[in-house]
Amino acid sequence: MHFRLLGPVELRTTDRWHPVAAAKQRHLLALLLLNRCRTVPVPVLIEELWPVDPPATARALVRNYVMRLRRLLGDDGATVITYRAPGYCLELPPGLSDAELFRAGLAAGRRALGEGDAATAVVRLRETLSLWRGTALADLPGEGMVGVARRELAARREAGDDLLIDARLAIEPASLVPELRALAADSPREYRWGQLMRALWLSGAPAEALGCYGRLRATMAQRYGAEPSPYLRELRDRIRAGERERLTTGVR
């Protein structure tokens, strides 16, 4: 069996993906997947499933949802969803959810880029980012464990986008300039502006790269009364000095 969390929650037990139709069962499955191989106490499950005014029958309802999930997973012997006082545990090997595959792929792409193998990093990161089908855990409420996991996964996705651009900068900086101009124009993130500066410098346009820094500095001073970060100031100084070393992978 396999599971998808990087979008609406889905599972595959045979040859096709399908959703978990019942909202509480879907929520319970996600909670157990997010805590794979860790016992989640029943009181915690109740608090997550009913953040406000849990019903008096909440414990019985949790048992019922577990029974239905076992049936859905073909877990008649209760070897996948086990009871360990004081709660339930999803006993699965690693790598059966797209969220875990994404984290592993992100680490592999980061490792390849750190070792100077940008081509491998590009392939690995593109494969990894293609796992996303929308907002993580999209068909679940936004509070509690689900909200924390959704924000953490979104931050990792942003990091993956950054890494892919960094890897591409080492191979095709000139072709990235139009894309990064558009991305930076719609983004207040300094790292994105730094990537545009690096792409311009590596494409033979250091004056335009420094002009980007000047525009961002003026915008930040006007809007926030702040200077660009040490990262961007160091990048500006490297471009001024003509140092190409490390510009393909940033200076963070």
Asked if residue 156 belongs to a domain, the reply is no
In this predicted structure, what is the pLDDT of residue 96?
97
Question: Taking a C-beta distance cutoff of 8 angstroms, is the pair 223, 145 a contact?
Answer: no
CA distance linking residue 128 with residue 160, whole number of Å: 8
Q: Which residue has the tokens 């929308």?
A: 134
Give the domain CATH number at 64: 1.10.10.10
In this predicted structure, what is the pLDDT of residue 244?
58
Asked if residue 125 belongs to a domain, the reply is no
Question: Which residues touch 86 (CB under 8 Å, ≥6 apart)?
Answer: 39, 41, 42, 43
Would the pLDDT of 243 be above 90?
Answer: no
Asked if residue 140 belongs to a domain, the reply is no
Instruction: Assign 112 a pLDDT band (cuts: 50, 70, 90).
Output: very high
Amino acid at 149: A
Asked if residue 70 belongs to a domain, the reply is yes
In this predicted structure, what is the pLDDT of residue 186?
85
**How does the average pLDDT of the chain come out, rounded?**
94
Query: Could you list the residue range(s) of the whole structural domain that residue 200 is in?
Result: 173-252
Asked if residue 243 belongs to a domain, the reply is yes
Q: How many domains does the chain have?
A: 2
Give the domain CATH number at 227: 1.25.40.10
Answer with the one of 67, 90, 113 that is the final residue of a domain: 90
Asked if residue 14 belongs to a domain, the reply is yes
Would the pLDDT of 245 be above 70?
Answer: no
In this predicted structure, what is the pLDDT of residue 252?
44
Answer with the one of 49, 73, 90 that is the final residue of a domain: 90
Question: Taking a C-beta distance cutoff of 8 angstroms, is the pair 166, 250 a contact?
Answer: yes
Would the pLDDT of 3 be above 80?
Answer: yes
CA distance linking residue 132 with residue 54, whole number of Å: 33
Asked if residue 193 belongs to a domain, the reply is yes
CA distance linking residue 160 with residue 172, whole number of Å: 18
pLDDT 10s digits, 209-242: 999 999 999 999 999 999 999 999 999 999 999 8
Answer with the one of 90, 114, 143 that is the final residue of a domain: 90
Global pTM reads: 0.91
Instruction: Assign 151 a pLDDT band (cuts: 50, 70, 90).
Output: very high
